[in-house]
Amino acid sequence: MIRLCGISAIIFVFGIFFFVFREGAPFLAKLDWSQFLFSPDWIPTSQTQPKYGVGALIVGTLSVTVLAMAIAVPFGLGAAVFVSEFCGKATKETLKIVIELLAAIPSVVWGFIGLCVLNPLIIQTFHTPIGVNMLNGAVLLALMSVPIMVSIGEDALKAVPDSYREAGLALGATRWQIVYRILLPAAKNGLLAAVLLGVGRAIGETMAVLMATGHSVRIPHSVFDPVRTLTATIAAELGETSKGSEHYQVLFLIGILLFSITFAVNLIADLAVRGVRKK
Amino acid sequence: MSDRQAMFAETPLGRRKRRTERVAKYFFGFMAMAMVVPLLLIVGYVVVKGWPCLSWEFLTTNPRGGGIRGGIWPALVGTIYLVGLSLCVSAPIGVLAAVYLNEYAKDNWFTRIVNLAVVNLAGVPSIVHGLFGVGAFVYAMHFGKSIISASLTLAIMTLPVIIASTKEALAAVPMSFREACWNVGATRWQTIRRIVLPNSISGILTGVILQVSRAAGETAPVMLTGVTVYKAVSDNGFFLYTLNEQCMSLSMHLYYIATQASGAPPALPYAIAVVLLAVVLLVNATAITFRVVLRSRKKW
């Protein structure tokens, strides 16, 4: 009985793949893969000639994620270093609690903040016509993925033996040098895992990007262009399709695509963490 | 200046080192504050903007005029239903799975695959869980778009995290406790029931409570599987919703009012956000306090 519960995890992973795949499968036969993956034309509702190219959506997801990581990685890892190396016990506990609360804010609330707070802020600061764009979504995703980076990154830094730090101190190194020359190389794998888990979170995020990135299907030319992501497309369009239609099946295929991407990212992160543990 | 004093006087190098030390500390401190400060500002801003709308009636009446007037009672009830039901499924399965993985399973390839599956299940995007819910519960099991589909979807979504946190709590119980118990002739199950579970219950509960807040805030998967934008609760009867009908939820209500409803008073979405944030943060604060108190009582 207890064993069955343990096995249930595997059943669910295959179950997810199976059920999502089953809904999307009929379309696979007539699918032109290169057109599906690389064409930027997403016109699923056309009566005469619907086009299902997720190229622009993939670019949207990637661009928002990359920009978000460009913001989140320095801040996330910097904060992890601060929490683990530079602050006293009381500050550390407080910061960890605040970070935990930050991680708890629901994504729909982040989306709402993007819509009502960041949107006017971006319009004012950069004088752009619209504020719901790539930058807005990326800032939100950065704020959302920083907490996981901090907590995993801090674990990785904590796993570096104290003797390394002491050896550095004994040689007269400043703490800056210790961080830069000793801790970062020693905790490399763990920090990589932290970043990857943040990436996984950012790719899979739905509501925040649905509300804050402007939702227009096109290849963005600057960070102020609105984009649309894979996740947001599923969330916005699935309710309007009828079961079994081509459009419906394509949305499930996008789901499989997302599943595979995050699966790969998490697998690599897991291997990186395991590398740390073995040492 | 005596020789001794000269020996310990600060050299230029030492001064420079102290300065880099300070710069480094402020630099990393700034990095940390750059995340904490926005959180406080944003929460403060949302509370201030939403304040005029908040009242007891707001929480306990049905919405009127397509949701733009009146209260959010059904959304609150719907959220409680979804979270409660999903926990009824995921907490027992999750805890038992963790007990199996931590106490019974041998370290072989099979266990490693199960562990890998748990890790990856935790990383699956919530919208894909939503698609799974549509494929499995709404259509394959014919539950339709309903509370039961939505809460089962949430259950699958929270399960891996409950497994992971429970496993961690179980692993924190020292091995010597178990060995002592086996030595007096207890079976494995007796050991788990009498020794391991009582000693790890605080960690297990904390993990489960944290999933309450995650499930309460989730929008995308429930949006696809059973939550709708408007569904008033019936006034009569003990059960406000039945399990096979659709319901409202706080998160979906916020999404709908913020993006699609026209003519809503400007404070309304802020007020809903405040309620949702309050629910989520209160649950989290409970979990944290719980953890701190129980940890201070631990004897090892």
Q: What is the DSSP secondary-structure string of B123-150?
A: HS-HHHHHHHHIIIIIIIT---SSHHHH
Q: Could you list the residue range(s) of the whole structural domain that residue B80 is in? A: 56-297
Same domain, B121 and B219: yes
Q: Assess whether pLDDT exceeds 80 at residue B43.
A: yes
Same domain, B33 and B107: no
Rounded Cα distance, B298 and B199, in Å? 9
Query: Is B163's CB within 8 Å of A9's CB?
Result: yes
pLDDT average, residue stretch A223-237 = 86
The whole-angstrom distance between A60's CA and the closest CA on chain B is 17
State residue B172's pLDDT score: 86
State residue B122's pLDDT score: 83
What are the φ/ψ torsions at residue A42 (nearest 5 degrees)? -115, 90
Amino acid at A123: I
Same domain, B131 and B250: yes
Query: Is B20's CB within 8 Å of A174's CB?
Result: yes
pLDDT average, residue stretch A174-195 = 87
Q: Token pair for residue A89?
A: 């016990």
- By residue count, chain A amounts to 279
The whole-angstrom distance between A85's CA and the closest CA on chain B is 9
Residue in A closest to B253 by C-alpha: A108
The owner of tokens 């961690």 is B168
Q: Count of CB contacts below 8 A, A vs B?
A: 254
Rounded Cα distance, B49 and B30, in Å? 28
Rounded Cα distance, B182 and B126, in Å? 42
Flag whether residue A204 sits within 8 Å of chain B, measured between CB atoms.
yes
Rounded Cα distance, B172 and B80, in Å? 32
Angle made by CA atoms B248, A210, A258, in degrees to the nearest 5:
100
The pLDDT confidence band at residue B135, using thresholds 50, 70 and 90, is confident
Same domain, B96 and B83: yes
Same domain, B81 and B49: no
Cα separation values, B108 from A3, A4, A177, B104, Å: 14, 17, 42, 12
Same domain, B104 and B250: yes
The pLDDT confidence band at residue A245, using thresholds 50, 70 and 90, is confident
Q: Assess whether pLDDT exceeds 60 at residue A113.
A: yes
Q: Assess whether pLDDT exceeds 90 at residue B199.
A: no
What are the φ/ψ torsions at residue B140 (nearest 5 degrees)? -65, -40
Nearest to B45 among A95, A98, A117 (CB): A117
Rounded Cα distance, B23 and B19, in Å? 6
Reply yes or no on domain A58-246+255-278 having CATH 3.30.565.10: no
Same domain, B187 and B220: yes
Q: How many domains does chain B have?
A: 2
Same domain, B29 and B146: no
Same domain, B162 and B271: yes
| pTM of the predicted model as reported, rounded to 2 decimal places | 0.86
Rounded Cα distance, A124 and A138, in Å? 18
Same domain, B45 and B132: no
Nearest to A108 among B139, B214, B217 (CB): B217
Nearest to A97 among B31, B258, B288 (CB): B288
Beta bridge partners of A211: none
Same domain, B144 and B210: yes
The bridge status of strand B63-64 relative to strand A51-52 is unpaired
Query: Is B258's CB within 8 Å of A252's CB?
Result: no
Question: Which residues from chain A sit within 8 angstroms of residue B117, using beta carbons?
Answer: 9-10, 12-13
Q: Give the list of residues 6+ apart from residue A22 with CB closer than 8 angstroms, or none.
A: B135, B140
* b/e map B129-140, b = 16+ CB within 10 Å: bbbbbbbbbbbe
Q: Where are the domains of chain A?
A: 58-246+255-278
State residue A11's pLDDT score: 80
Cα separation values, B123 from A13, A259, B7, Å: 11, 9, 58
Cα separation values, B178 from A45, A240, B194, B199, Å: 62, 56, 10, 11
CATH assignment of the domain containing B253: 1.10.3720.10
The answer to whether A100 and A146 have CB atoms below 8 angstroms apart is no
State residue B293's pLDDT score: 82
Same domain, B107 and B205: yes
Flag whether residue A263 sits within 8 Å of chain B, measured between CB atoms.
yes
